[in-house]
Amino acid sequence: MRILPKAVKEQFEEIKLENKARHIYLKELSGRFYVYNMEYLADETGRKVRRSYYMGRITDEGIFLRKGVSGDENKLEAAKVLIKKYGGSVIMPEFRKPEEPVKAEKEIVFEPSEEEKMMLTILSMNGRARFNSIAKALGITPQGTARKIRKLEKKYGIDYLAQMNMNRLGFFGHIAFIKFHDKMPSVEYIKRTFENQPLIQLCALIEGQYDLMLYLLLEADSAKAREQVEELREGLLPEYLATWHIKPVAEVYGFIPVRDLFFDVLSKKVWRRTLENPRPKEDSLLQREFLSLRSFNSGGNKQFQDIDKECSLTKGAARYSYYKMLEKGMLERITINIRNITFSYNGIIFMEREDNRKFGKTRNQLRLDITGGNKNIANSYSVIFDVMDPDGVIFIAPFKKDEAIESKIDDLKSKIEGATFSRIGIITTTLVGTFCNRRFDNQYTIQYQNLVKARAVEPKPYIDYTKM
């Protein structure tokens, strides 16, 4: 293979970041460089296999000629490369608001059928559900299920990933809001700086009270966490004057996916034999579990035997590790992220509790609001955090219209007493990491369980997704 030109390498790295994919690879054919994406899909028998799809070609100048894209669009890519070459910067909007009726009609393509809703819910609850079990729920054959799942994955852009209990692994979530004073660094500089920091799982640009939002995973030990915060503040963008508001938070609904780079930090938690620790404890993270967990997070529907080979494990080690981590509570489930969802932006709402007595009387209305939104492709909220100081809750949700976040705040104010609601901002661009949009069965949330305890709802029969 000829030496990879620098421009080709840089463009290839941008493609991987843009697609948030870990299975994109480059191939040289007759002196040209072609980009492919490898996915894990189900064949006609229900067996999951690897398949590669051609994405496009990168020229020696670093221009990405995408498959199926018009000449004008490829010319735009060429112009962007030229601008960057001479020190300029290109900022493109992440989302475009629907302005014409024709645009709105395209959303109909992604309206899920009842059958699709059922499949999305099952995969959200157990991304490793067997085709036989899904077929039984749908009332069709396993072969038919394999075809439907394959179609579903393509239509909605489904990724399979691990939902981990970070507290069990020795970490605690923190949210940071940053406001720059005199000037703000370029988007490219922020992205380049923050994406290389393994403790940062999400970095997003905001329009509103702040300029940036970060989600961090820090040591559960508070003293160590303070040291990590100081190192981050001193080491990240020190030349720009900014105010940082960092708070520990608990994910009480949904979760922020963990980036692959974080596993470099998690590797330090792996048990190693020493004189002081000759044997692992019950809650120790073993090497085979760590390797399997990292692989699950980049493709949770991989075959166990493929993970054994990928991680150089003995036969059956990945399967054993999977069930052992579920038993230990380190791994909550394999779930999905639905990438193809039509919305304008993610909005951030903050609720501060002021009068606990009044709030307690209407708390169930908030729980009903959280658990009642399962009519569309995904849940109404992407993630909800509990905050201790000030005593409140942060809601992050996708919205289809600019005025929707204000309407949502007004709706919450009309239902909930003893609390104030305010708009922190809207997320214009996600620079690092991703939100997880899925169709989680809300009967398994703590909010629904509390509604049942309070006799505010009639309990429904539970589906045991773990046995699927």
- For residue 6, the tally of other CB atoms under 10 A from its CB is 10
- pLDDT at residue 46, as a whole number: 55
Q: Is 242 helix (H, G, I), strand (E, B) or coil?
A: strand
Alpha carbons 422 and 350: distance in angstroms, whole number: 5
Alpha carbons 17 and 24: distance in angstroms, whole number: 10
In the predicted model, residues of the chain with pLDDT beneath 50 are 94-109
Measured in whole angstroms, the distance separating CA 187 from the mean position of its chain's CA atoms is 21
Task: Please give the structure tokens belonging to residue 411.
Answer: 């709706």
Over residues 331-355, the pLDDT tens digits come to 999 999 999 988 888 999 999 999 9
- pLDDT at residue 23, as a whole number: 74
- pLDDT at residue 171, as a whole number: 97
- Cβ burial 20-53 (10 Å sphere, 16+ → b, else e): bbeebebeeeeeebbbebebbbbeeebebeeeee
The residue whose two tokens read 């005025």 is 403
- pLDDT at residue 373, as a whole number: 63
Alpha carbons 279 and 63: distance in angstroms, whole number: 54
Q: Are 258 and 433 in contact (CB under 8 A)?
A: no
Contacts of 19 (CB under 8 A, 6+ apart): 37
Nearest by Cα to 69 from 60, 79, 57: 57
Over residues 178-232, the pLDDT tens digits come to 999 989 999 999 999 999 999 999 999 999 899 999 999 999 999 999 999 999 9
- pLDDT at residue 98, as a whole number: 42
In one letter, which amino acid is 372?
G
Q: What is the DSSP string of 78-125?
A: HHHHHHHHTT------S-----SHHHHHHGGGGPPPHHHHHHHHHHHH
- pLDDT at residue 43, as a whole number: 54
